[in-house]
């Protein structure tokens, strides 16, 4: 071991962790800030603080985006981008709406099958990207259309009916039970980060050929990352169906872009290899908070999109600026 004198001149473990996770810390700060603003504006408008109903609906509404953001993070970390997230959600949401049924056994079986469909969609993306040597943005743009097309075939008219029990399990309307899933998701991420696959994903996102030079199988890692991403997108489709209590083969479309927004707000670099899915999860909640804040701030609906864009640009600039500042110091 090196002499203590040398070790003591270094940053402590905590200092390193703080300096190396600036994106995540900023996401936490932004979430805290936006929740605070939301509470303040809510109080000003309503004369009381938001309570159980607000928390529950916010969590239930955001969970699909949280899952989509994790899916997007997996792919973005490999230096790719997954535009098909919305298509996978469309497809899986459609299958869930017609297939889940009423019995517990069927619900479990169909849920597993839906997750496998998501994994298969990811497999297609991954194989095309890894073996086809194609740009992820092109591959997933193409598969987005394919998945959307299949989804419409599966469920031409919005409809279906999700059993109450299923809704109660995934998107319970009477309490913020879904927060447990968010916590679970963070734990899964913690573990994944410590597996060979997790390290491989970061490694190829940093420098694919360097990672390969040291024994990382880049193709296998990429395919697994896309498959895992597809699985999380499928989970988003299930949560969406549970929350809406029915299916619509087009409601997933918006998640492609919003998942990218969440990823960026969460401090994950679009250039790959840097960032955490936990940050992206927080980013998902931040986007919902922005909707809430603009709602209660009584801004003319015609200008809402404008303010939303302004907020996003501001947040990203701020995050980038502070990140650079911390780096330098």
Partner 1 sequence: MDVSDRLIGRRTVLGAGGAGLAGAAFGGLARPALAQGKKFKVVLSNSYIGNKWRLEMENVFKAALQMEPYKSSIEGSWFNSDNDVSKQSQQLSNVIAQRPDAILINAASPTGLNGIINQGAARDILMIAFDNTVTTPKCLKVNTSQSEMGRAWADFLVKKMNGRGNVIMVTGVAGTEVDQARIKGAEEVFEKAPGIKVVNRYTGMWDSSTAERNTAAILPSLPQIDGIWCQGGTDGVIKAFISANRPVPPVAGEAENGFRRFMVGYNGQKVDGLSIGQPPYLSVISLELARRILIGQHPKQDLLVPLAPLTSDQVKLGETAFADQPDSFFADFTDGGDHPILKLCVTAALDGTPCSGRLDVNLPAV
Partner 2 sequence: MSQDVPAVEAVNLVKSFGGVRALQGASLAAAAGEVHALVGENGAGKSTVIKALGGRVQPDGGEIRIGGRQVRLPAPPTAHALGAWTVFQELTLLPGMTVAENLLLAREPRTRLGLVDRRRLAANAESVLAGLGVHHIDPRALVEDIPLAERQMVEIVRAISHDPRILFLDEPTSSLVEREVVWLFGQIRRLRAKGACIVFTSHRWNEIRSIADRITVFRGGRDVGCFTELSEEDAVTLMTGQRVETFFPPLPAAPRAADHRPALEVRNLAAPRLRPVSFAVAPGEVLGIGGLAGHGHRELFLALFGAGRATGGQVLLDGKPVRLRNPREAERAGIALVPEDRKSEGLLLPMSVRDNLSLALLRRLSRAGLLRRGLERQMAGGEVQRLKVRTASLAAPVGTLSGGNQQKVLLGRWLLTDPRVLLLYDVTRGVDVATKHEIFELMMRLAGEGRAILFYSSDAEELAHLGHRVLVMREGRMAAELRAPGITAEHVVSAAVRDAA
Q: Per rule CB under 8 A, is residue 168 in the interface with partner 1?
A: no
How many residues bind to partner 1 according to rule CB under 8 A? 51
Angle separating helix axes 104-131 and 218-244, nearest 10 degrees: 140
Q: CB of 169: closest distance to partner 1 in angstroms?
A: 14
List C-alpha distances in Å: 278 to 184, 231, 268. Answer: 11, 17, 10
Q: Per rule CB under 8 A, is residue 205 in the interface with partner 2?
A: yes
Measured in whole angstroms, how far is the alpha carbon of residue 243 from the centre of its chain?
17
Q: Per rule CB under 8 A, is residue 20 in the interface with partner 2?
A: yes
Site for partner 1 in 56-115 (CB under 8 A): 56-58, 60-62, 64-65, 97
325 binds, among partner 1, partner 2, none (CB under 5 to 8 A by kind): none
Q: Per rule CB under 8 A, is residue 172 in the interface with partner 1?
A: no
Q: CB of 93: closest distance to partner 1 in angstroms?
A: 9
Query: Any residues with CB less than 8 A from the CB of 144 and at least 6 apart, and which?
Result: 83, 84, 86, 87, 256
Q: Segment near partner 1 (CB under 8 A), from 38-46, 69-77, 79-87, 117-125?
A: 38-46
Contact between 211 and 203 under an 8 Å Cβ cutoff? The reply is yes
Task: Compose the 252-281 pattern: x for residues touching partner 2 by CB under 8 A, - for all others.
Answer: -----------------x---xx-------
Q: Per rule CB under 8 A, is residue 285 in the interface with partner 1?
A: no
Output the six-digit token pair for 25: 């810390």
Output the six-digit token pair for 112: 């597993």
Smallest CA-to-CA distance from 40 within 30, 52, 50 is with 50
Whole-angstrom Cα distance, residue 66 to residue 71?
9
Cα dihedral sign, 60-64-65-67: positive
Task: Compose the 14-33 pattern: x for residues touching partner 1 by CB under 8 A, - for all others.
Answer: --------------------
Interface residue with partner 1, options 111, 140, 148, 258 (CB under 8 A)? 258
Q: Segment near partner 2 (CB under 8 A), from 8-16, 104-112, 157-165, 237-245?
A: 8-16
Contact between 175 and 55 under an 8 Å Cβ cutoff? The reply is no
What residues pair up with 48 in beta bridges, in sequence order?
none
47 binds, among partner 1, partner 2, none (CB under 5 to 8 A by kind): none
DSSP one-letter string for 45-112: HHSS---HHHHHHHHHHHHHHHHHHHHHHHHHHTT---TTHHHHHHHHHHHHHHH--SSHHHHHHHHH
Q: CB of 183: closest distance to partner 2 in angstroms?
A: 18
Smallest CA-to-CA distance from 96 within 285, 233, 2 is with 233
83 binds, among partner 2, partner 1, none (CB under 5 to 8 A by kind): none
What residues pair up with 247 in beta bridges, in sequence order?
159
φ, ψ for residue 267, nearest 5 deg: 85, 15
Q: Per rule CB under 8 A, is residue 157 in the interface with partner 1?
A: yes
Q: Per rule CB under 8 A, is residue 194 in the interface with partner 2?
A: yes
297 binds, among partner 1, partner 2, none (CB under 5 to 8 A by kind): none
Per CB under 8 A, residues contacting partner 1 are: 42, 45-46, 48-54, 56-58, 60-62, 64-65, 97, 152, 156-160, 167, 171, 173-174, 240, 242-248, 250-251, 254-255, 258, 288, 291-292, 295-296, 301-302, 304-305
Per CB under 8 A, residues contacting partner 2 are: 1-3, 6, 10-11, 13, 16, 19-20, 191, 194-196, 198-199, 202-203, 205-207, 209-216, 269, 273-274, 327
């Amino acid at each position: 071991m090196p002499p203590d004198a040398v070790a003591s001149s270094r940053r402590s473990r905590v200092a390193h962790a703080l300096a190396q996770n600036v994106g995540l810390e900023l996401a936490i700060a932004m979430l805290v800030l936006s929740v605070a603003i939301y509470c303040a504006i809510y109080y000003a408008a309503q004369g009381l603080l938001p309570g159980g109903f607000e928390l529950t609906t916010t969590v239930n509404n955001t969970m699909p985006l949280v899952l989509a953001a994790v899916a997007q993070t997996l792919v973005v970390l490999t230096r790719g981008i997954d535009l098909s997230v919305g298509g996978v959600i469309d497809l899986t949401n459609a299958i869930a709406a017609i297939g889940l049924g009423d019995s517990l056994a069927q619900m479990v079986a169909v849920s597993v099958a839906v997750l496998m469909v998501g994994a298969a969609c990811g497999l297609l993306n991954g194989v095309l990207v890894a073996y086809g040597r194609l740009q992820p943005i092109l591959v997933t743009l193409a598969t987005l259309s394919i998945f959307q097309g299949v989804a419409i075939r599966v469920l031409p008219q919005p409809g279906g009916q999700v059993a109450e029990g299923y809704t109660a399990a995934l998107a319970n309307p009477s309490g913020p039970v879904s927060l447990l899933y968010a916590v679970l998701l963070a734990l899964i991420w913690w573990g994944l980060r410590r597996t060979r696959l997790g390290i491989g994903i970061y490694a190829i996102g940093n420098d694919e050929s360097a990672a390969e030079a040291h024994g990382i199988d880049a193709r296998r890692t990429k395919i697994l990352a896309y498959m895992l991403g597809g699985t999380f997108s499928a989970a988003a489709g299930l949560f969406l169906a549970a929350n809406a209590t029915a299916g619509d083969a087009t409601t997933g479309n918006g998640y492609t872009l919003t998942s990218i927004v969440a990823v960026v707000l969460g401090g994950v670099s679009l250039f790959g290899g840097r960032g955490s899915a936990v940050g992206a999860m927080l980013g998902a909640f931040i986007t919902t908070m922005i909707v809430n804040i603009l709602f209660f701030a009584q801004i003319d609906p015609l200008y809402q999109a404008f303010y939303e864009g302004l907020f996003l640009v501001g947040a990203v600039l701020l995050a980038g600026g502070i990140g650079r500042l911390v780096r330098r110091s």
